[in-house]
Amino acid sequence: MPTMQKPIYTGKAKDIFETEDPNILRTYFRDSATAFNAQKKGEIVGKGKINATISTLLFELMEDFGIKTHFVKQISENELLVKRVKIIPLEVIVRNISAGSLCKRLGIEEGKVLKAPIVEFSYKKDELGDPLLTRAYIKNALEIADDETLDKITELTLKINKIFKEFFLNVGIKVVDFKLEYGIDKDGNMLLADELSPDNFRFWDAKTNEKLDKDRFRQDLGKVEDAYIEMLKRVKEGKSKMTNAKTQEKTFSVRVQVLPKADILDPQGQAVEKALASMGYKGVKDLKVGREVVFKVEAESESEAKNKAKEMCERLLANPVIEDYKIEVVG
Ligand SMILES: Nc1ncnc2c1ncn2[C@@H]1O[C@H](COP(=O)(O)OP(=O)(O)O)[C@@H](O)[C@H]1O
Ligand SMILES: [Mg+2]
């Protein structure tokens, strides 16, 4: 930490600081780890910086898919700037495979693929051990959120789940479950907040079912740091796969040939033709000198690329009054 500034809040994993901008907070990710409602405490060496970086990459992923988040930027290995929000005191949990408290509560085995993803809400209140809530508890007893907000949160959470499931499966990871927090910013927007890291997700290797998240700490499975390092690697892999796919899919190489029209006087062409004749090349006729323009263009399809190139020719690349052009999309 660069200054002796006091945090406005010290949580179980992060410290929250104010900045000069009242709407922006600085979050510092610590190495400290807790489990079972802070009954178990410890340290995972290097976790702070790994979680800050994984959170950054995953918040950016969310933004790529149009999900509004509190993320502004990563300013050091352990620190992010985020938009200040009023956190809705709900732990929004989504489950794809049975694990953790669901198994305990229902007496079912870990690893059951659920018929459909489940979204559930717990009360974000450490003193009470984050109890599971019903909608009526939320609406009528706590009055934290109304039906409309809960519907919006549920819909958004399922969308996020879909994105994460696909993203991680692409790098050999099953998303078992995870916890999200939402908050409301100064303009009344609902933003995805807090962090997106192996502290709040259960990640299993798709081939071996090896646990690559905080369960290694909770259950004393060893190689805790390695799991976090591995997850950072997979997230980076996933991101680069995405950018590769994006650029490959969406960029087209275009070749444009511009030539003077057949009935247009082409002094340059005539000069070359004359020069060739004087060099002894007989029978060279109708010589035209043109140019070739090549470029890559982003487009959804080949025909869109062609249309874009046509527009560029009409407006700049050719002079349609005196020149013809031929467009070729080469890949
Ligand atoms: N953008 C934000 N604005 C305000 N508070 C936030 C924001 N993002 C996260 N927080 C809060 O910061 C706190 C610190 O994080 P953490 O150490 O994980 O706390 P906790 O012990 O509550 O899990 C959390 O209570 C979280 O809700
Ligand atoms: Mg937390």
Same structural domain, 107 and 171: yes
Ligand nearest the Cα of residue 55 is: 1
* The predicted structure's pLDDT at residue 313: 96
* The predicted structure's pLDDT at residue 248: 76
Number of domains in the chain: 2
- Domain range for 102 is 9-222
Residue 232 lies in a domain: no
* The predicted structure's pLDDT at residue 2: 55
Residue 16 lies in a domain: yes
Residue-wise pLDDT for 153-183, tens only, equals 999 999 999 999 999 999 999 999 999 999 9
* The predicted structure's pLDDT at residue 3: 62
Same structural domain, 91 and 200: yes
Q: Is 12 near ligand 1, meaning CB less than 6 Å away?
A: yes
Ligand nearest the Cα of residue 38 is: 1
What mean pLDDT is reported for the chain?
95
Q: Where are the alpha helices (DSSP H) in the chain?
A: 47-64, 100-106, 135-136, 147-169, 215-218, 224-250, 267-278, 302-312
Same structural domain, 214 and 262: no
* The predicted structure's pLDDT at residue 130: 96
Nearest to 13 by CA among 27, 29, 1, 36: 29
Q: Which atom of ligand 1 is nearest to the CA of 82?
A: 1
Residue 230 lies in a domain: no
Q: Is 15 near ligand 1, meaning CB less than 6 Å away?
A: no
Spans of the chain below 50 pLDDT: none
CATH of the domain at 306: 3.30.1280.10
Q: Is 239 near ligand 1, meaning CB less than 6 Å away?
A: no
Same structural domain, 78 and 125: yes
Q: Is 79 near ligand 1, meaning CB less than 6 Å away?
A: no
Q: Is 255 near ligand 1, meaning CB less than 6 Å away?
A: no
Residue-wise pLDDT for 192-238, tens only, equals 999 999 999 999 999 999 999 999 999 999 999 999 999 999 999 99
* The predicted structure's pLDDT at residue 295: 96
Nearest to 157 by CA among 140, 182, 131, 176: 182
CATH of the domain at 141: 3.30.470.20
Q: Which atom of ligand 1 is nearest to the CA of 14?
A: 17
Q: Is 196 near ligand 1, meaning CB less than 6 Å away?
A: no
Same structural domain, 209 and 306: no
Query: Ligand 1 centre from 75 Cα, in Å?
Result: 18
Phi (first) and psi of residue 116, to 5 degrees: -150, 155
Same structural domain, 87 and 34: yes
* The predicted structure's pLDDT at residue 247: 74
Q: Which amino acid is at 175?
A: V
Residue 240 lies in a domain: no
